[in-house]
Structure 1
Amino acid sequence: MNKTLARLCVVPALMMAATLSHAADKGTEVYNANCAMCHVPGLANAPKFGDKAAWEPRMAAGKAALLKSALAGKGAMPAKGGNPKLTEEEVGAALDHMLAALK
């Protein structure tokens, strides 16, 4: 592979890595500001952050169902964690952050 072609391949890869890093940062930011207050202590039966056993039955329904519940609210959890200004992408990023803690 010549040097010019190699450089052309590196730039998109770096851009993708920066985008993924930003998405992860956004998920952490949204989680900390909107979700942690209930998911850290497990208020109102919220599954605790990083608690695989508590998340297993919820994950069995699939990520799409989890996102739908987070967006619309379910049980004691208000829609979008109580922040109606959050976008679907932001809620999804926070969900990804919580699910990543289970791996």
Structure 2
Amino acid sequence: SDKATVGKGVYDMACQACHNPGIAGAPKTGDKAAWVSRIDQGMDTLNGHAINGYQGADGVMPAKGGNMSLSNDDVINAVAFMVESSR
């Protein structure tokens, strides 16, 4: 999607440091098994967790990955990239 295409740049800048290696319980981008239950929650839930932060059983997702200079749309686009890469 267009969101995912735009989101790759945001991901490379702000998300990959945790989501490539799977630091602090972050699901690795491209790991279908790690993402299936998350994707099943729906995009609204995923986007909300990424924007507002989330304490999960396996770790914590800081609000906007700790980069408060990102807009909500930046985060939504990065989530779209991660989901499309992990289906």
TM-based fold match above 0.5: yes
For the pair shown, the structure with the greater C-alpha radius of gyration is: 1
1:25 deviates by: 4.0
- Contact 2:4-2:84 at 8 Å conserved across structures: no
Which of 71, 76, 84 matches 1:92?
Answer: 76
Do structure 1's residue 69 and structure 2's residue 38 form an aligned pair? no
Structure of greater relative contact order (alpha carbons < 8 Å, 6+ residues apart): 2
More strand by share: 2
Distance 2:4 2:35 in 1: 20
Q: Which runs of 5+ in 1 are unaligned?
A: 1-19
Distance 1:34 1:91 in 2: 9
Distance 2:11 2:73 in 1: 12
The sequence identity of aligned pairs, in percent, is: 43
Distance 2:31 2:71 in 1: 26
Letter in 2 for 1:43: I
Distance 1:24 1:68 in 2: 17
Distance 1:59 1:26 in 2: 20
Q: How many residues align?
A: 82
Which of 35, 44, 66 matches 2:15?
Answer: 35
**TM-score, normalised on structure 2?**
0.86
Runs of 4+ more than 4 Å apart:
none
**TM-score, normalised on structure 1?**
0.74
Distance 2:86 2:61 in 1: 20
Root-mean-square deviation (Å):
1.2
1:102 deviates by: 2.1
